[in-house]
Amino acid sequence: MRKEIESSQENALSLCTEKVLLARQAYDLIDSHVKRLDEDLNNFAEDLKQEGKIPPDEPSVLPPLPIVPKAEKRKSFYGTPQPKKIDYRDRDWDRDRDFELMPPPGSNRKDLMPIEEQPIDPNEPTYCVCHQVSFGDMIACDNENCQGGEWFHYTCVGLTPETRFKGKWYCPTCRLLPQSH
C-alpha cells in the first residue's frame, strides 16, 4: 500500500512539473510574440512618420507599461512567477494591422532576432539574489513576507530539480530571520 501511495505521489509530482514547464513555455512563446508585435508596431509608426502621415515629433505609439509594485505580485506555491496581467484591450491605442504570422518553432526563418539577443523589457519584474528576470527553474520562498526576492533561480541558491519538493524552503535572507522557521 505504501509503495502504491509513493508511486502515485511521484506521478502527481511529475505531472505538476510537466504542467509548470508547459505553462512556462507558453508564457515565453506569448512574450516573444508580444515583443515582435511591439517591434512591428513601432516600425509601422516610423514608416508613417517617414511618409509624412503623422508628424515626426509625434510621441511613441505605445504608452509605457505600468510598473507593478512588489506588493501586487502574485504569490503562489510552485512554478515560475508571472507578472501581473495587463488587459491590453483597455489601452488607448489600436493594433488593427495585419501582421505576418511568426513562423512555427524550429523553422528556418533567419530575419528574426534570437530570444537571447532581444532586449529585456525594463518593466519586467526582477527576482532572486541576482536581481534578474525570471527564467529557467525557480523556487518561491515559503516566508509570506519574503524580502530577499520572493522567487529564486535554482542555480543561484544551489538547488536542483531533485531537491525542489522536499518540504518548506526559505531564501538566504529569510533563513536568518527567527520567525521564518
Euclidean distance between CA atoms 144 and 154, whole angstroms: 19
Euclidean distance between CA atoms 44 and 139, whole angstroms: 40
Euclidean distance between CA atoms 26 and 8, whole angstroms: 27
Interstrand relation of 138-140 and 151-153 (parallel, antiparallel or unpaired): antiparallel
Question: Is 16 a known ligand-binding residue?
Answer: no
Euclidean distance between CA atoms 135 and 106, whole angstroms: 20
Euclidean distance between CA atoms 102 and 33, whole angstroms: 8
Q: Of 114, 153, 115, give the one whose Cα is nearest residue 132.
A: 153
Q: Which amino acid, residue 125?
A: P
Question: Is 181 a known ligand-binding residue?
Answer: no
- Output b/e per residue, 14-30; b: 16+ Cβ within 10 A: eeebeeeeeebeeeeee
Question: Is 33 a known ligand-binding residue?
Answer: no
Q: What nine digits make up the cell of 110?
A: 533567419
Binding residues: 128, 130, 141, 146, 153, 156, 171, 174
Binding residues for Zn(2+): 128, 130, 141, 146, 153, 156, 171, 174
